[in-house]
Amino acid sequence: MLLKLRLVVLMSSILITCTSFVSAHETLPTIADLEVVDGKMVFSMRANVEAFLAGINLDEVTDTDEADEADSYDALRALSPDEISVKLPALIASFNAAPLIEVDGRSVALAVSGFDMEVMSDLEQPRISTLALSAAMPSGARNIIVNWPAGRGALVLRQQGVEAPFTGFVNPGTASPVIALEGGGETTAWQTFKSYIPVGFDHILPKGLDHILFVLGLFFLSTYLRPLVWQISAFTLAHTVTLALGAMGWVNVPGSIVEPLIAASIVYVAVENIFMKGLSPWRPFVIFGFGLLHGLGFASVLGEFGLPEGQFIPALIAFNIGVEFGQLTVIALAFIAVGAMWRKAWYRARIAIPASCVIAAVGAYWCVERVFF
């Protein structure tokens, strides 16, 4: 009895902590455009500059509220763009010390050539800045390497202004391949495919907390494998469709609509778990509808990367495979935690229903927050 009670408390505690993770504070990859014009190299980043300045380790933190530097980060977010710009020289110095850019094997010193920061009325929302760094190119320069520092999170790097430009996903603490200034270094379909599987997985584990709760809601419906397979199949088919349509720009629904509905979908599956002991005739169709919403959420992430047309399809497929691996991992972990108790007479009353209650409560919290705050 004590072991069962401890398990319920542990599961509930883990789920309750999810209320502290809201999408407003989720860390995002930096997206950088690299271009050389008239002997001048420009490296323009869309990044969370305040997180950089606060010293948050974006390699390890998925939510800025979790960071030890959260107070410093929040103080920086309250500053005006002009006040932030005064603090940029120290950041640029750290980039140059890495060095961030090497031309033909030699480091180049970067300077700020442009800075623009979104004006946010709601400080709970992420404030993304555009920071342009530039340097004069040595005569006869042929190639560039970008050394992305550890602690800065992932980097999506895009070459501009040339034929067959390089576009790639650079992990923190690593360097890009050698990028030819004249172009021709476009990443192969296979290279893109390999690099975007972990991107999709990462969007579920650890960053996709709302998607994790939805999948757990599917898991706690029944102690039989067949209902779970039906639900996962419907969900996968649906989010694959809208992931493709949304990422290609054919369907575009504002996040202000999609995100509350995703939270509502979590509430629905959890509440139905409480009142239904098995798979209802309508549940796969409802799950399919909710899967369409979740696919739009996935598409917003992939769409931001701005992949060239030739790389889009392999990236899309790989991202979706990564998402599926993430979902299956969530189910596997849930099964490891409570699967041995599936056939116990008390499983539904003491495990599935309490867990579903907590999932519903978290989903309802997110739904209200995303609508009204």
Does residue 261 sit in the same domain as residue 244? yes
Tally of structural domains, the chain: 2
Domain enclosing residue 240, as ranges: 194-372
Kindly tell me if the per-residue pLDDT of 123 is higher than 70: no
Could you say which of 186, 215, 244 is where a domain stops? 186
Report if residue 7 sits inside a domain: no
What is the predicted pLDDT for the residue at 203? 82
Q: Residue 217 and residue 331: Cα distance in Å, rounded?
A: 10
Kindly tell me if the per-residue pLDDT of 18 is higher than 50: no
Does residue 104 sit in the same domain as residue 236? no
Could you say which of 186, 202, 234 is where a domain stops? 186
> How much is the mean pLDDT over the chain?
84
Does residue 218 sit in the same domain as residue 350? yes
Q: Are 181 and 143 in contact (CB under 8 A)?
A: yes
Does residue 220 sit in the same domain as residue 347? yes
What is the predicted pLDDT for the residue at 121? 53
Kindly tell me if the per-residue pLDDT of 99 is higher than 90: yes
Neighbouring CB atoms inside 10 A of 310's CB total 14
Q: Residue 127 and residue 358: Cα distance in Å, rounded?
A: 31
What burial class does residue 125 get, using C-beta atoms within 10 Å of its C-beta: 0-12 exposed, 13-18 middle, 19+ buried? middle
Mean pLDDT of 290-299: 84
- Report the greatest alpha carbon distance in the chain: 77
Does residue 174 sit in the same domain as residue 231? no
Half-sphere exposure of 82 (CA within 13 A, CB side): 0
Does residue 154 sit in the same domain as residue 211? no
Does residue 46 sit in the same domain as residue 178? yes
Kindly tell me if the per-residue pLDDT of 4 is higher than 70: no
Neighbouring CB atoms inside 10 A of 278's CB total 11
Kindly tell me if the per-residue pLDDT of 14 is higher than 50: no
Model's pTM, two decimal places? 0.74
What is the predicted pLDDT for the residue at 23? 40
Could you say which of 163, 186, 209 is where a domain stops? 186
Does residue 141 sit in the same domain as residue 262? no
Q: How do residues 142-190 score in pLDDT, each as one tens digit?
A: 999 999 999 998 899 999 999 889 888 898 999 999 999 998 888 888 8
Does residue 115 sit in the same domain as residue 95? yes
